[in-house]
Every structure is written in C-alpha cells, then in structure tokens.
C-alpha cells in the first residue's frame, strides 16, 4: 500500500514537474516571438559606409549648429573649382598653340637652312665648272670649240652672279637663325606653361600673363555683339588679303614650276642633239654648250630653290586660312548660344592662330571696319606668322 502511495506521489510529482517545465518553456519562448529588427543595434556595413561617403551622407547629417563654417565652404568650393578649371583649360589651349608654333618654326628653320646649303653648293659647283671651262678654253686652239667653251663659261658665270645676287639679298642663313631663335623662345614658353600646370593650380592671372590681355565677359557664353562684329571683320581681312594672296602666289609658283620642269629636260635634249653634231660644224658645239649650260642653271634653280615645295607651302597656307574662315563662319551661324564655344576662348584661339595678341586682333578688326566705311582696301595681312 505504501508502495502504491509512493508511486502515485511520484507520478503526480513527475506530472507536475513536466507541467511546470512546459510552463517554464512557454515562459522562456515569449521573448523570441517578436523578431523586430531595430536599427539601433545594427552596425552599418562597409557598403553602406562607402555609399554614405560617396553621397556626402555624413556631411549632410551634421547639424548646422555644430559646424557653422560648413555651409560657407560648400557654397564657395564650386566657384573656385569652376574658375580653376576654366583657367586650366585656357592654359592648355595656349600650350597646344605654343607646341604648334614650336613645330612650325622648327620646320621653317630647317627649310631655310636647307635652302642655304643647297644654293651655296649649287653656286659653288656652277662657279667651279665655269672656271674649269675657262681654263680649258685658254689652253685650247682657235675655232668653234674655243667659242663654245667661252660661251658656256660666260653663261655659267652669269647664272652664278644672278643666284649670288638673290642669295645675298635674301640671306637664307640669317632667316634660318631667326627661326631657330623663335623656336628657342617658344620652347621656353612651353616649358614655363608646363611648369605652371604641374606645380600649382593656374589662375586667371597666369592666363593674363601668357596672353597679355584683359578679361572681358560680355553677353551669353562670353559672346557679345562687339565680338561677333570683330569676328566678321577678321573674316573679311582673311578673304581679302591672306587667302587671296597666298592662292595667287601658289598659282604663280605652280606655273613657274611647270615651266622649269619642261625647260630642264628640253634643254638637256637639245644639248644631246647638238653634241651629236660636234665636229660637223660650229653650230653643233655652240648649241650643245649653250643648252647644257642653261639646263644646268634651270635645274639648279628648280631643285635647289625647291619650287615644288614653295607651291605646296602656299597651297597649305591658303587652305589654312580657308579653314579659319569656315570655322569662324560656322561658329557665328550657330544660333544656340549654349552650343557655341566660349567667346573669350574662341577669340583667344583665333589670335593665337594668326600670331597676334588679343589687342592686335581687335585693332585689325577696327581697321577693316574703317576701310570698308571709307571704301579703301586694307593694307595689312591678318596673319603675322609669315
């Protein structure tokens, strides 16, 4: 009986314990039911931090009372960056134009130095040949051969005299030295601009020093009615003087080159025919000697003078000015001012391409306007490069 009571007590106690366990388990599981994600204990991830930094999230969340100077810095920084970037763009535009000028003066200097060398060698060879013919004629007998040698020597000496006169008048060695000096000066300016861009952020003062100009910002996008009138006058000067004259000189050089190209082989052919009749009469030797001497002079003038190169030089110059005309006209025809290039920048580029300062470009436009009013022709070229 006691055992039955003990077992009943144990079973009741175990049932109570199990029921208490269930109650305890139910009580423990209560905090796990609401699984709400609170932002306070959540640590921001690295991607979120990067996103906030990129979007200036932390700067925007700073109260104004704690950072009184922050709004001032944010307001002034875009203006400084805008001014600095514009000054940098101007200096890079000048740097590009200076590099082009360095290459141009270098090529012109090499060309003139080549002229000097070729003309000097040609004149020396013509002179030595004439001296040799004169010496042979002095040791020879009388008759047609002597006359032919004398005539050839005389023609060669005459050609050498004319070429020396032209060479001494032009002084190609001096012209080549001028181009070398110009190349050196522009290289110095190029190095200074590179140093300015590399060491510190350029300002408008650096651009003023490089261009020697005053800053003018009138109208929308830097364009004003005065600037448009100035550009139209520059077009008129380029058309009336630079393009027309260089095209005319190019046509003359082309005609001269054709005449020389025909005359050289023709004279050497005549000399070859005349040499076939030497000994059969006096005229054969005379014709051969005279034609040969003239062919030497013509070929020397054509190739040592590089007439073909002169033709291309004038053609390229005319094409350069025609391109400038189209560039200015297309810019002025653009009615949307926002799509136009900045007026101040455009005026600066035109001045650099013409080898002038900003003030000289404006003076040229005023001269063109006065000449149109008075009905006269302007006596000044737009370009100062050549």
- In tens digits, the chain (386 residues) has pLDDT values of 444 444 454 455 444 444 444 444 444 444 444 454 444 444 444 443 344 334 344 344 434 343 344 444 334 444 445 555 777 788 888 888 888 888 888 888 888 888 888 888 888 898 888 888 877 876 766 677 777 888 888 888 888 888 888 888 878 887 888 888 888 888 888 888 888 788 766 565 556 666 554 334 345 677 888 889 999 999 999 998 898 889 999 999 999 989 988 998 898 888 888 777 766 666 877 887 888 888 888 888 888 777 887 888 888 888 889 989 999 999 998 888 878 888 888 898 899 889 888 899 999 999 999 988 888 888 889 988 76
> The tokens of 63 are what?
């109260």
Query: From CA 213, how far away is CA 211, in angstroms rounded?
Result: 5
C-alpha to C-alpha distances, 130 to 122, 160, 242, 267, 293, nearest whole angstrom: 12, 9, 42, 18, 9
Burial (CB < 10 A; 0-12, 13-18, 19+), residue 43, is exposed
**Could you tell me if 204 and 193 are in contact, meaning their C-beta atoms sit under 8 angstroms apart?**
no
Phi, psi of 140 (to 5 degrees): -85, 175
Phi, psi of 62 (to 5 degrees): -75, 130
Query: From CA 161, how far away is CA 314, in angstroms rounded?
Result: 28
The residue written with tokens 């704690």 in the block is 66
CB atoms within 10 A of CB 51: 12
**CA nearest to 324, candidates 233, 235, 230:** 235
Residue length, the chain? 386
pLDDT of residue 141: 61
**CA nearest to 271, candidates 252, 296, 290:** 290
pLDDT of residue 91: 82
Sequence-separated contacts (24+) of 281-289 with Cβ below 8 Å? 281/144, 282/143, 282/144, 282/147, 283/144, 285/144, 285/145, 285/147, 285/148, 286/144, 286/147, 286/148, 286/151, 288/148, 289/148, 289/149, 289/151, 289/152
pLDDT of residue 286: 80
C-alpha to C-alpha distances, 347 to 206, 248, 293, 300, nearest whole angstrom: 17, 28, 55, 45
The three-point CA angle 90-95-202 to 5° equals: 50
> The tokens of 126 are what?
């013509």
Sequence-separated contacts (24+) of 51-56 with Cβ below 8 Å? none
> The tokens of 181 are what?
């000096």
Alpha carbon 270 to its chain centroid, in Å, reads 49
Specify the 3-state DSSP secondary structure of 288.
Answer: helix
Whole-model pTM above 0.85? no
């Amino acid at each position: 009986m006691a055992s039955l009571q003990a077992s009943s007590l144990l079973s009741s106690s175990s049932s109570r314990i199990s029921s208490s366990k269930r109650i305890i388990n139910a009580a423990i599981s209560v905090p796990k039911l609401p699984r709400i994600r609170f932002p306070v204990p959540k640590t921001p991830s690295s991607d979120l931090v990067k996103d906030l930094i990129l979007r200036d999230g932390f700067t925007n969340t700073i109260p104004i009372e704690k950072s009184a100077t922050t709004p001032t810095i944010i307001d002034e920084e875009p203006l400084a960056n805008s001014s600095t970037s514009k000054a940098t763009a101007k200096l890079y535009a000048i740097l590009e134009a200076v590099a082009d000028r360095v290459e141009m003066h270098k090529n012109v200097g090499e060309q003139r130095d080549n002229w000097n060398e070729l003309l000097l060698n040609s004149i020396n060879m013509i002179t030595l040949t004439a001296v040799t013919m004169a010496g042979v004629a002095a040791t020879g007998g009388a008759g047609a051969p002597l006359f032919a040698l004398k005539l050839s020597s005389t023609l060669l000496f005459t050609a050498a005299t004319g070429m020396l006169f032209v060479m001494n008048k032009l002084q190609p060695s001096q012209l080549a030295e001028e181009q070398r000096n110009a190349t050196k000066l522009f290289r110095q300016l190029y190095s200074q601009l590179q140093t300015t861009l590399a060491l510190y952020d350029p300002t408008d003062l650096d651009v003023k020093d490089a261009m020697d100009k005053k800053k003018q910002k009138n109208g929308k996008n830097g364009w004003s009615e005065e600037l448009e009138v100035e550009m139209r006058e520059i077009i008129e000067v380029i058309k009336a003087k630079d393009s027309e004259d260089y095209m005319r000189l190019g046509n003359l050089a082309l005609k001269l080159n054709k005449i020389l190209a025909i005359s050289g082989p023709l004279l050497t052919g005549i000399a070859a025919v005349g040499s076939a009749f030497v000994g059969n009469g006096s005229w054969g030797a005379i014709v051969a000697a005279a034609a040969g001497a003239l062919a030497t002079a013509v070929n020397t003038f054509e190739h040592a003078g590089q007439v073909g190169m002169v033709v291309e030089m004038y053609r390229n110059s005319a094409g350069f000015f025609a391109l400038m005309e189209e560039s200015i006209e297309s810019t002025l025809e653009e009615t949307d001012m926002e799509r136009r290039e900045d007026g101040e920048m455009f005026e600066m580029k035109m001045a650099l391409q013409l080898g002038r300062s900003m003030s000289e470009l404006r003076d040229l436009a005023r001269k063109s306007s006065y000449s149109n009013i008075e009905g006269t022709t302007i006596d000044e070229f737009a370009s100062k490069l050549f």
